[in-house]
Amino acid sequence: MSAGHATLLHRPGGSPVHLAAPEVKIVAAFLTVLCVVATPRHVFWAFGGYLLLLFGVSAVAGVPARWVAKRLLIEVPFVVLALLLPFTAGGEQVAVLGLPLSVEGLLAGWNILAKGTLGLATSLLLAATTAPNDLLLGMQRLRTPQLIITISSLMLRYVELIVAEAGRMRIARISRGHDPRFLWQAGATARSVGSLFIRSYERGERVHLAMLARGWTGTMPEAQRRRPAPAWSRTRTWLLGLSPVGTSAVLLGVALWTA
Amino acid sequence: MDRLTAAAGDDAAHEHAGTPALEVHRLGYSYPDGHRALHDVDLRVEPGERVALLGPNGAGKTTLALHLNGVLHGQTGRISVGGLKLTERNLHEIRRRVGMVFQDPDDQLFMPTVAEDVAFGPANFGLHGAALRRRIDEALEAVGMSEFGERSPLHLSGGQRKRVALATVLACDPEILVLDEPSANLEPVARRELAELLLGLNRTMLMVTHDLPYVLQLCPRSVLVDGGTVVADRPTRELLADTELLAAHRLELPYGFRLD
């Protein structure tokens, strides 16, 4: 199963973080994000603590901070909103470099920026250290409903195909003189997104037909699934894997206490 | 291996002496928009036969093929496979008996690895453990793809994907293979290799295609469908030599071919 998909976000490796059981990592990432989200926004030092924790984990995993930082750029559209809030929100004002800014807006913007960045960095670390198929395996071991597993695995299988199709459509447009840098040509891009959706939908239908033709009845056959790890190693990996979450929980506890 | 390649053709003939591998009787079907796709289609395929289903685009070939394993339900007429009538109750067994190989392997191959994909069909039909593993190995060996079990279908060439798609169906041990445009999008060498592979399988086959030279090579008998009905049913060489008939149904041999 390891030789599966080309992986945009996965960085194969042999670090303890890579080797930890996927279900442990999923739970750890989820709980860490919960801690981050539950932290009151004005306890600034706690966010610094979470950041240090993530740095620690990425150092152990051998994931360079630069790699994570580059992929964090995906949050830029959301950050734009966070940057606007100090100017648009009302209430008490404070002057920063001569600019009158709303205190409430600054806090709200900070809240989005800090929690978004930490949450995204956590997911990136999870993705970097866990192969997509192992994520599915972890979800399965966590008793995620079979339908969601099936849908996710199909998504993994076809996402590359759809990206390739989008690439071909783009080249075909450009070959006919389309230049998406001009705003008035954005319509063509939008329409091709629409037709990409239709094509993907139709492919979905054909895939379903092909599955029916091979006797599919609605549940994936279990035959190929891997055996769960033995119990002794499971307790240990859970304890080890959840240790960063313990640190997050302590940070959260102190933050709530002092808030 | 022998079970998959040699058995079906000869043994099936002995087992069901006199029973056709496939029998379609007065099948009719209209699409929900009222367009009539099939009209009184009759077709009988004997065990071990390789039959081509020819016709212009929109003639109803693929619609007919999708009826054979009950994906589409004919409004009139009946279908039986190896003597078993296609009914709601028999649907699962019919789908095991009729192996459909779709035109685009990417529609067929959807699992993360080749081996898992080949396992999908037989596992659905109740195989597991060592028997399932043996079936996967046999099917991959039959198409010459044994080395590729752990690879992702994404990283195979078009010809290899086609062969794996064929293996996913062979693994179900079908009694009749239905192939939709098997030679589409294949480079000449892959096209020839697939032809040799199909001939070596020695199975009952129904092949939907526009590729007339391919038909001449693979199928001794051809059925011409147009306007949702069977227009001609003759030995392939004879049918392909009838230029008037071909022209009347928007078919023609490629430039430079002559059969008369």
This model of the complex carries an ipTM of 0.75
| Residues 182-211 (B) with a CB less than 8 A from some CB of A | none
B167 inside domain = yes
Asked whether B21 and B49 are in contact (CB, 8 A), the reply is yes
Averaged pLDDT of chain B = 88
Q: Which residues of B touch A135 (CB under 8 A)?
A: none
Mean pLDDT (whole number) for B6-23: 60
* Percent of chain B surpassing pLDDT 90: 64
Could you report the per-residue pLDDT of B203-260, keeping only the tens digit for each? 999 999 989 999 999 999 999 999 999 999 999 999 999 999 999 999 999 998 887 6
* Percent of chain A surpassing pLDDT 70: 90
HSE (CB half, 13 Å, CA atoms) of A70? Answer: 7
B123 inside domain = yes
B40 inside domain = no
Q: Which residues of B touch A207 (CB under 8 A)?
A: 107-108, 110
The neighbour count for residue B133, using CB atoms within 10 Å, is 16
The pLDDT value given to residue B3: 47
Helices (H) and strands (E) in chain A, counts: 11, 2
The pLDDT value given to residue B134: 94
pLDDT tier, A233 (very low <50, low <70, confident <90, very high otherwise): low
pLDDT tier, A164 (very low <50, low <70, confident <90, very high otherwise): confident
Residue B102 forms contact with A (CB below 8 Å): yes
The pLDDT value given to residue B220: 96
Could you report the per-residue pLDDT of B63-103, keeping only the tens digit for each? 899 899 888 887 899 999 999 999 989 888 999 999 999 98
Say how many domains are in chain B.
1
B88 inside domain = no
Q: Which helix (H) or strand (E) holds B235?
A: strand B229-235
Q: Which span out of A66-75, A182-191, B7-16, B21-30 was modeled with the highest average pLDDT?
A: B21-30
Q: Would the CB atoms of B132 and A223 count as touching at under 8 Å?
A: yes
Q: Regarding beta strands B22-30 and B36-45, do their DSSP bridges make them parallel or antiparallel, or are they unpaired?
A: antiparallel
Averaged pLDDT of chain A = 82
Query: Which of B116, B156, B206 best probes binding to A when mutated, by most A CB atoms within 10 angstroms?
Result: B116
Tokens of B256: 């430079």
Which residues on neighbouring strands pair with residue B180, listed in sequence order?
Answer: B208
Q: Would the CB atoms of B120 and A213 count as touching at under 8 Å?
A: no
Query: Which of A159, A161, A214, A226 best probes binding to B when mutated, by most B CB atoms within 10 angstroms?
Result: A214
Q: Would the CB atoms of B124 and A214 count as touching at under 8 Å?
A: yes
pLDDT tier, A227 (very low <50, low <70, confident <90, very high otherwise): low
Q: Would the CB atoms of A209 and B69 count as touching at under 8 Å?
A: no
**Does the pLDDT value for residue B145 go beyond 90?**
yes
Taking CA atoms, B78 is separated from A108, A148, A168, B44, B178, in Å, by: 68, 38, 43, 12, 18
Asked whether A41 and A89 are in contact (CB, 8 A), the reply is no
- Domain span at residue B115 reads 47-70+99-249
Could you report the per-residue pLDDT of A60-88, keeping only the tens digit for each? 999 998 999 988 988 888 788 888 888 88
**Does the pLDDT value for residue B155 go beyond 90?**
no
CATH number of B181's domain = 3.40.50.300
Taking CA atoms, B45 is separated from A167, B121, B239, in Å, by: 44, 24, 17
pLDDT tier, A229 (very low <50, low <70, confident <90, very high otherwise): low
Structural domain boundaries in chain A = 16-139+227-258, 145-213
Could you report the per-residue pLDDT of A235-255, keeping only the tens digit for each? 777 887 888 888 888 888 888
The pLDDT value given to residue A15: 87
The pLDDT value given to residue B12: 43
**Does the pLDDT value for residue A191 go beyond 50?**
yes
